[in-house]
Amino acid sequence: MYTLGIWDGHDSGAALIEGNSVIFAANEERFTKRKLEVHFPIHSINAALKYAGLKPSDVEKVAFTTTELTKTLERAFPYMKENYYQFRRRKQLRPRFENARHNLKYRMTSIGVVPFSTSISKGIVARNLRHMGFAKFKLDVVEHHTAHAAGAAFTSHMKNGAIITLDGVGDGICGSVNILENGEFTRKQSISVRDSIGIFYEQVTNVLGMREMEDEGKIMAMSCYSYPFPFEENKLRDFFIVTGTLIRAKYGPTKQFEMLQRIAWQTPREQFSYMAQQLIENVMAKYVSNVLDRYSMSDVAFAGGVFANVKANMCVRNLEQLRHWYVFPHMGDGGIALGSALYSSYLENGTTDYRFNAYLGNEYTKDETLAVLKKDRSLIFQEESPFDHTSHAAELLGMGNYLLWFQGRMEYGPRALGNRSIVARSDQEEVKDRLNLYVKKREWFQPFAPSVLEDDVGRIVEYDGKGLDKYMTMAYMVKKEMREHAKSVMHIDGSARPQMVGEENLIYMNLIRKVKGRMGNGIVMNTSFNIHGYPIVMEPGDAVGVLKATKSKYLFINGIFVTNRAGVY
Ligand SMILES: [Fe+2]
């Protein structure tokens, strides 16, 4: 039996599972080309059904999540969420009452689920599905943090462990502790939205003039450019305290925003970022430590947008009592369509372990790819065997080129993982600057990430074996002797966020092997295949679009090597 999971809020999307396998998952942004899309995920649902060869009427079970008051209002009046999307992404002029709007948002989202909001949400989602041709289906509602937690728990392959979620807000709470023990998944506690470290970090992002719910990674990156100082000198240190398994905020979101603005006014932005980062690292490490002690657990899985912070994750990983950890690769709200489907399926059949990897999206045949390439006379292309393809690519990388690299199924989650990536050699600053200036157009302080072979990771970073982090969810310190080889993929503090590539991606693994054979280091610089402000590419037409828009020279796509005659970089 199939279960379809859907999410129709920030970074909407759909996922399809059958038995104990995740068979498809994607986010709507890739189809609509609007980053972190918020519309009902019609395209993702249709793509999931197409992949499995199903009609809407074949699906008997659908799960969706989050029925709090604001989400229900947005479902009833979709222009509200479109308006907030345009505001948040700076697609409109600064509103006159920006602060009032900001405060209203946090007041509204703190209300949570109210009488009738679940039944109204359910009615609207069912109606949207019926418009798409769904007929006889059971519709399950999954609570927001349960969806986050189920994503982590049921893809972690853990038998027993603590499942911790932390985000901005969802269904009136901002975090939860759940225990997975002997096939039973149980909620143990929740954190009130007033005490949200996710909202705190969002507000810090906003105060520094960046986009909340999108640019938090930039704050983390910028924090490394401050001079370090002890926690006792941190002006934000008392914004949160951790007592036992409780996190308590000194101020509610409105007062907190005022206080942050006041402190930021007198503080250079690098130091302000450092303060915020240092605070959440302290809070998260102490909180997770106390939870593990309280429930006598040493294995832990994490989800929720706060765990996108790979440097805070690194502090948590260093806890002594932590034996094994896992971060769900699509940790933010983009991952809760799958989490909803997994939880609904667990309630039905008790399964707590699902086959999962990060390559769950659309794929295109060589013929479909050739049909796109043939439309453009400025492109020269030739087919290559997989062996020649990776050798050729490694040779061009060795010569200092970057390559647009597209193959197989699209990645699920925020990271490019060797199927929709831009790759380059890891030991040159020059190629990094070229990519930043002409292709990615990113802030200079944002680092790129490395892809390394899974069985080679201990040679490159300080790897402690506490979890095989395949999908760039954890920072590690690069070994001193490898830093010369990791110039373009290492942050200023010597940390990096590696992808650990194994048999789940044979062609990409082969490319890294060839790079290792040619250059000795076994590191490929990997950044997402997109242009500034747009989502990662999905289909061959998008890939050709980026090739031409960025005047790049080379594209490797589904076994075809493409040269752009008009390419400069
Ligand atoms: Fe969330």
Looking at the structure, tell me whether residues 162 and 144 fall in a common domain: no
How many angstroms does the Cα of residue 168 sit away from the middle of ligand 1?
A: 6
Ligand 1 centroid to Cα of residue 337, in Å, is: 11
Mean pLDDT calculated for residue range 544-561: 95
At residue 427, the pLDDT reads 94
- For residues 426 and 308, membership in a common domain is answered with no
Residues 52 and 163 in one domain: no
pLDDT surpasses 90 at 433: no
3-state SS class at 517: helix
pLDDT the model gives residue 300: 96
Mean pLDDT of 112-135: 95
The reply to whether 332 falls in a domain is no
- Does 425 share its domain with 558? yes
pLDDT at res. 445: 85
Q: Compute, in angstroms, the gap from residue 169 CA to the centroid of ligand 1.
A: 6
201-208 long-range contacts (CB < 8 A, ≥24 apart) are 201/276, 201/280, 201/306, 201/309, 202/168, 203/253, 203/256, 203/257, 203/260, 204/260, 204/272, 204/273, 204/276, 206/102, 206/257, 207/257, 207/260, 207/261, 207/264, 207/272, 208/264, 208/269, 208/272, 208/273
CB burial of residue 296 (10 Å; 0-12, 13-18, 19+): exposed
How close is the Cα of 472 to the center of ligand 1, in Å? 19
Q: How many CA atoms lie within 13 A of 488 on its CB side?
A: 23
Q: Ligand 1 mean position to 333 CA, how many Å? A: 5
Does 107 fall in a domain?
A: yes
Domain match, 192 and 107 both: no
- Ligand 1 centroid to Cα of residue 173, in Å, is 9
The residues whose Cβ lies within 5 A of ligand 1, an ion, are 167, 170, 333
What's the confidence (pLDDT) of residue 171?
96
Q: What is the pLDDT of residues 507-546, one digit of tens each?
A: 999 999 999 999 999 999 999 999 988 999 999 999 999 9
357 belongs to a structural domain: no
pLDDT tens track for 309-319:
999 999 999 99
114 and 176 part of one domain: no
Residue 253 shares a structural domain with residue 374: no
CATH number at residue 377: 3.90.870.20
- Ligand 1 centre distance from Cα of residue 474 (Å): 19
Domain membership of residue 267 (yes or no) is yes
Q: How many angstroms separate the alpha carbon of residue 319 from the centre of ligand 1?
A: 25
Burial class of 139 by CB neighbour count within 10 A (0 to 12, 13 to 18, 19+)? middle
Asked if 406 and 345 sit in the same domain, the reply is: no
Ligand 1 midpoint to CA 231 (Å) = 28
Note whether residue 427 is domain-resident.
yes
Predicted confidence band of residue 83 (pLDDT cuts 50, 70, 90): confident
Residue type present at position 295: Y
Which two structure tokens, joined as six digits, stand for 91?
């697609």
Question: What Cα–Cα distance (Å) separates residue 118 from each residue in 68, 124, 340?
Answer: 7, 10, 15
Residues 6+ apart with CB under 8 A from 318: 285
pLDDT over threshold 80, residue 103 = yes
Q: Please give the distance, rounded to the nearest whole angstrom, from the Cα atom of residue 466 to the centre of ligand 1.
A: 26
420, 545 Cβ separation under 8 angstroms: no
Compute, in angstroms, the gap from residue 171 CA to the centroid of ligand 1.
Answer: 9
CA atoms 342, 345, 347, 350: torsion sign: negative
Lowest-confidence range among 87-101, 104-118, 356-370, 411-425?
Answer: 87-101
CB 294 within 8 A of CB 245: yes
Task: Say how far apart CA 529 and CA 556 lie, in whole Å.
Answer: 12
The whole-number pLDDT of residue 444 equals: 82
Q: Is the pLDDT of residue 104 over 90?
A: no
Clarify whether residues 164 and 143 are in a common domain.
no
> pLDDT by residue (tens digit) across 139-197?
999 999 999 999 999 999 999 999 999 999 999 999 999 999 998 999 999 999 999 99
Same domain, 181 and 249: yes
pLDDT(336) > 90: yes
Backbone angles phi, psi at 39, to 5 degrees: -75, 165
pLDDT in tens, 449-462: 999 999 999 999 99
Q: Give residue 514's domain range.
A: 366-564
Domain-embedded: residue 354: no
Distance from the alpha carbon of residue 349 to the mean position of ligand 1, in angstroms: 25
The reply to whether 379 and 515 lie within a common domain is yes
Please state whether beta strands 246-249 and 449-453 pair in parallel, antiparallel, or not at all (unpaired). unpaired
- Helix 386-398 vs helix 506-519: crossing angle, to nearest 10: 40
The CATH number for 271's domain is 3.30.420.40
**What is the number of domains present in the chain?**
3
**pLDDT interval class at 407 (50, 70, 90):** very high
Give a yes or no: residue 355 inside a domain.
no
Predicted TM-score (pTM) of the model is: 0.96
Q: What is the pLDDT of residue 200?
A: 97
Output the CA 164–ligand 1 centroid distance in Å: 12
Mean pLDDT of the chain: 94
Q: How far is the CA of 469 from the centre of ligand 1 (A)?
A: 21
Question: Is 26:362 a contact under the CB 8 Å cutoff?
Answer: yes
In angstroms, what is the span from residue 377 Cα to ligand 1's centroid?
46
State the distance from the centre of ligand 1 to the C-alpha of 191, rounded, in angstroms: 13
